[in-house]
Amino acid sequence: MKLFGRKEKSTGEILAGGENAIANKEVEGLSQGQIVRRRFFHHRAAVIALVSFASIILFVMTSLDVKMGPIRIPGWWKWTTEDIPELRFEDCPGGTTGCPTLSLDPRSGAFGMGTHPFGQDDIGRDYFALVMNGTRRSLMIMFVIGAVSGFIGVVVGSISGFYGKKVDSVLMRLVDFIQTVPTIIIAAVIGKAAGKVGPLYLALFLGVLGWTGLARLVRAQFLSLREMEFVDAARVAGASNLRITFKHILPNAVGQIIVVITLIMAGAILTETGLSYLGFGVVAPDVSLGLLISQYESSFTTRPWLFWWPGFFIISIALCVNFIGDGLRDAFDPRQRRRITKRDRLQAKLQNKAGE
């Protein structure tokens, strides 16, 4: 009944033709890049997510020292994860220690970050520094997994889908093979072998395992796109395989690819969390958000700040990445309708009336 939206003659039906007209008019004479950018910046949620994400990265990266070989850029935060300051007892609720000093109440005298805005851990280390360090690790893991999986997935998927036949067959069996190797085993091996340099290796190997879904998707896209008339047309016009792939097929598949990559990235942060919970992820003394949240799983009734802050960053990052992906999908999809605002509807209605 009502769930199906329209009844007889509603504005929606009138708009069925009109919407595309609005959208088409909007993009007349623009290059694809311009269209995508324009559409993306019209997606309010995606823009908010992008700005938040950029702010989080900036905030996190500048807070602590950045060490690259001999170069050392100092961060603005006073503690590092190696400092062990005195544990604070004052004003802590219910006999707890190391409670947070962050105060957002402008009336109180303590407004601002204070010495330990997110509190302190069991032995007194500054939790803000730990969370910042953990967020860095988690971001690194996320980007590495996204990049590695994205790259391998697109390459394997395109080759497989474009050439088909034997190549496809071999590559898809490789996908089967990779999918049968359990992630936890790889994580356990890395945990054993890599020791202190763990997180980067962990991310690389998870990336090497994580591309299979993307490859299958890219392949499916290629399989159906290569049968399209415009590809035939390009081929008749003498375009090379590379040109067909990059100029004709990939641009049509890029929306889906980006969405899947953002899903992989958002999933990566959770995979890391899950592995840390099971004891196979990032290993102390290294810090990651997943490790912090699983380490303080039981503290949410006693020292909730130890639990909420890493959780807050995990959820924020995953949310941002998902929304950015959503915006990109809408922006890249040539068939996707732009969001129709109330004003558009009104205009269309008026035009329609005028037309009648």
Write out the binding residues for other proteins, residues 240-279 only, by CB under 8 A.
Answer: 266, 270, 273-274, 277-279
**Among residues 75, 114, 164, 251, the one that binds other proteins under rule CB under 8 A:** 164
User: For residues 137 and 24, what is the distance between their CA atoms, to the nearest angstrom?
Assistant: 44
In three-state secondary structure terms, 66 is strand
Distances (CA, A) of 92 to 66, 126, 128: 33, 15, 17
Query: Is residue 35 close enough to count as binding other proteins by CB under 8 A?
Result: no
Residue whose C-alpha is closest to residue 266's, from 216, 326, 200, 219? 326
Q: Which stretch binds other proteins (CB under 8 A): 52-60, 135-143, 167-175, 238-246?
A: 167-175
Query: Is residue 192 close enough to count as binding other proteins by CB under 8 A?
Result: yes
CB closer to other proteins out of 241 and 341:
341
Residue 13 neighbours by CB under 8 Å, 6+ apart? 6
Q: Is the peptide bond before 310 cis (omega within 30 degrees of 0)?
A: no
Residue 71-90 contact track with other proteins, rule CB under 8 A, x = bound: -----------x-x--x---
**Among residues 73, 182, 233, 346, the one that binds other proteins under rule CB under 8 A:** 182
CB closer to other proteins out of 27 and 113:
27
CB closer to other proteins out of 179 and 241:
179
User: For residues 272 and 10, what is the distance between their CA atoms, to the nearest angstrom?
Assistant: 49
Shortest distance (Å) from residue 111 CB to other proteins: 29
CA Rg value for the chain: 26
Query: Is residue 110 close enough to count as binding other proteins by CB under 8 A?
Result: no
User: For residues 29 and 42, what is the distance between their CA atoms, to the nearest angstrom?
Assistant: 18
User: For residues 16 and 67, what is the distance between their CA atoms, to the nearest angstrom?
Assistant: 56
Query: Is residue 2 close enough to count as binding other proteins by CB under 8 A?
Result: yes
Shortest distance (Å) from residue 106 CB to other proteins: 28
**Among residues 21, 339, 347, 350, the one that binds other proteins under rule CB under 8 A:** 339
Residue 123-162 contact track with other proteins, rule CB under 8 A, x = bound: xxx-------------------------------------
Between strands 66-68 and 71-73, the pairing is antiparallel
Query: Is residue 169 close enough to count as binding other proteins by CB under 8 A?
Result: yes
